[in-house]
Every structure is written in structure tokens, then in C-alpha cells.
Amino acid sequence: MSLLSYSYHVPLSVPYWNGATYRGIFRSFLSGRVIEGPDLSKLRDALIKRLGIEDALLCGSGSLALEIALRACDVREGDEVVIPTFCCTSVVPPILAVGAHPVLADVGEELNITAETAEAVLTNKTTAIIVPHLFGNPADINSIVDLARPKNIRVIDDAAQALGATIDGRAVGSFGDAGILSFGSEKVCFGLGGGVVVSREKENLNGGSKMELPPARLSPTLRTFFSTLAWRRWRRWTLPAQAWLSPANTGNPDSPPNPYRKEILPNLNAAVALSLLQTLDENIAARRARVRAYQEVLGADERLSLVPHRPGSACLSQVGGPRLASAPRRGSVRSPRRSATLRWLRGARELRSHSSSSWLRRMAGTVSSACGASVE
């Protein structure tokens, strides 16, 4: 494959930056306020207003935000924390950091944890349930809160992939005892990284706020900025060079995620996040239009199954796979409810094995036309 063809591959995600983003970046550099500055308080105030919450704590990453939320919910060593079987691996290290044990609950047809699947794994050691809204699609968190409240179990609203999503007009992230947001890679507001812990009641975050976080270091902050700018935002022009300069990806998928830095959010990151928050409605409108295009083009195909997005979804991604045969094997008794996680993993394998089929190539071309010639 030539470098020319490689450079035009459609990326998984490109930062949704505009003129206000670059002005915020230049302002931070020209004023010398890369680490500390006024954009931190501006971002906090904007989030409180947008989500209708009482308190927000800014920190260096979404994983750190989850650890702070767990500590604020008084999750301790030996406790059990319920998480879905299908979610980002970055959910696990914060649980281990507080000495708790992750317990896996299956997901429903929309690939989110449900009250039914969470209840099946509850024990007398369960102290918290983490509810991610996978791919921006809101989970039925109200039912999970109703399940957990009588049992004195805390619920953490993980809106890292769903900033801007709503449930009956209420912002996702504001449910439960605490919520988290993220401005990391491939999120709705893809910035320079950073996380936020939020709550509708100030007293809920008192425990987590006792963590002493140092200021961000200048060198890693600048490296992250230039790397994101060159390899992600400007990838249309830099990807041929990246093919030469970047080492081959030989990482082991079973390896744990890289450790997250425990530090305060840099002002530079806050400036970028603030500009993205100001264009969030426009961003989500564009994402919803693309999801509608996928559904219009691919939804009628009997061989393909698309996960539907609920009303209010942030539409981070549209997920789909081959529609699987429902007939049981001869001599077997099929369970009335097969694991949704295993079903979708099997579908993903079938999709990869048939990725060269002509109908998939035709569908990909049709969707590209429907969504526009460029996603950057």
C-alpha cells in the first residue's frame, strides 16, 4: 500500500476544533498561563451552568475523575464496584486504586448496563455501580438509581463518552451520587485531555476533594498539545510522515492501560475544553445527522444490525454488526436470553472475517457519500 493511499484513510476521530479553540491556545501561550490561569474557573462555571449541578472538580483525566468520585462515594478496600462487561478498560484502574474489586454485569441490547443485569451481581459487599453511557447513548440510569438507593449503594454517572446527552431534558452526568466527564481522545469534546467530577449536591464531593493534587507539569502538557495538534488535528497533512516516524503498534491487548497522572487540569487544556463546550450543540447536531445517515442507508439491510440511539443521545459513534442467525444448534437448548456481550463480540469477529465482501464495500461507499466527502 502506498503512503498516498494510507494518508487518506478515514480516521476513527478528529478533534472538533475551530477558531475559538486556536484563539484560546494562543492566549494561554502568549500570557504564559499554560499551567495555571483563568480558563480553569471559566470552564468550571460553564459546566455547572450547562449541567445544572452544584459542584465540579477539574482534574487531569477522566480516570482520575473516576477515582475521585469513588473516594467521594466512600468506596474502600475490599468493596465491590459493579461495571458493565462491555466498557472502556480505563474504568478498571481507578477501582483498583481505591482497593476495591470490579464486578462485571452483562449489558442489554443497547450495550449499556441495565438494572436487571446489575441486580444479578449485587452482593453484601457492593458499594457502588458505575453506569457508562457507551458511544454517547444514554443508559437507563434512573432504573439503576431506583435499584441502588434502598440498598445504600452509590451510583456514579459515567458520562465520559456522553457529554451533551440528555435523559428527559436532564443532562447526562448529573444523575446518581456523582458523575464524571472527559475531554480526552475520541470523546465528544476531543480536547487535550482532562476530567471533571460533578454532583448536584456539594456535600457529595467532600470526600473526593480531600485528595491533594499537584499542579500539572509543563513538559508533559506541551508534549500532549503538540502531539494532539500534529498527529490528530492536522492528520490530513502529517499522516504520511507519521507512517515513517511512529513505531509499529506491537502492544499486547491484554496489557493494562497506561497509568494516569494524578494532577490538576492545566489551564491550556481548560482553554481548549471551554471552546469545545461553547460549540457542543453544533458538534452534537452534526453527529446526530451522521447517525441518521447511517440508519437511512444501512438500517433496511437484513444482514446488518445497528444499535439504536435513544432520544437525547450524544451520538459519539454508530455501532453495528452482522445480524446473527437465531436458530440453535441441533441437540442444544438455547437460553431465552443470550449474553448481549458475547453476541456482539461474535458479530465483530464475523464482520472482520467478511470485511472484503462486495456488499460491505458498497455500503461503506454509500455511507461516505451520505456523510460528506470529508470527516475532518
- Do residues 185 and 232 make contact, with C-beta atoms less than 8 angstroms apart? yes
Dist. CA 48–CA 181, nearest whole Å: 12
Decide if domain 19-210 falls under CATH 1.20.1250.20: no
Residue 326 has pLDDT above 80, yes or no: no
**181-198 average pLDDT score:** 93
Please give the pLDDT value at position 376. 34
Q: For the range 1-10, what are the long-range contacts, defined as Cβ-Cβ under 8 Å and sequence gap of 24 or more?
A: 3/240, 3/243, 4/240, 6/239, 6/240, 6/243, 7/236, 7/239, 7/240, 7/243, 9/239, 10/368, 10/375
Please give the pLDDT value at position 304. 83
User: What are the backbone angles phi and psi of residue 325, rounded to the nearest 5°?
Assistant: -65, 140
Please give the pLDDT value at position 210. 62
Burial class (CB in 10 A: 0-12, 13-18, 19+), 186: middle
Please give the pLDDT value at position 246. 60
So where are the chain's domains? 19-210, 280-326+335-371
Position of cell 471559566?
A: 42
**177-202 average pLDDT score:** 92
Position of cell 458538534?
A: 283
CA angle 164, 38, 67 (to 5 degrees): 55
Residue 330 has pLDDT above 50, yes or no: no
**177-205 average pLDDT score:** 90
Q: How confident is the model at residue 12 (pLDDT cuts 50, 70, 90)?
A: low
- Do residues 203 and 223 make contact, with C-beta atoms less than 8 angstroms apart? no
* 245-249, 252-256, 314-318, 354-358 — most confident range: 314-318
Residue 270 has pLDDT above 50, yes or no: yes
Dist. CA 290–CA 292, nearest whole Å: 5
Locate 341 and state its grid cell: 456481550
Please give the pLDDT value at position 226. 92
Dist. CA 69–CA 62, nearest whole Å: 10
Percentage with pLDDT > 70 across the chain: 77
Please give the pLDDT value at position 351. 40
pLDDT (tens digit per residue) in 199-221: 988 777 765 556 788 999 999 99
Residue 299 has pLDDT above 70, yes or no: yes
Residue 363 has pLDDT above 50, yes or no: no
Please give the pLDDT value at position 206. 67
Please give the pLDDT value at position 373. 33
At 305, which amino acid appears? Answer: S
Average pLDDT for the chain: 82
Please give the pLDDT value at position 335. 43
Position of cell 456488499?
A: 359
Residue 360 has pLDDT above 50, yes or no: no
> What does the buried/exposed string (b/e) look like for 275-304 if buried means 16 or more CB atoms within 10 Å of the residue's CB?
bbbebbeebbebbeebbbbbeebbeeeeeb
Position of cell 469534546?
A: 189
- Do residues 133 and 161 make contact, with C-beta atoms less than 8 angstroms apart? yes
Dist. CA 15–CA 104, nearest whole Å: 32
Whether the full predicted model's pTM is greater than 0.85, yes or no, is no
**141-149 average pLDDT score:** 96
Lowest-pLDDT choice from 107-121, 260-274, 294-308, 357-371: 357-371
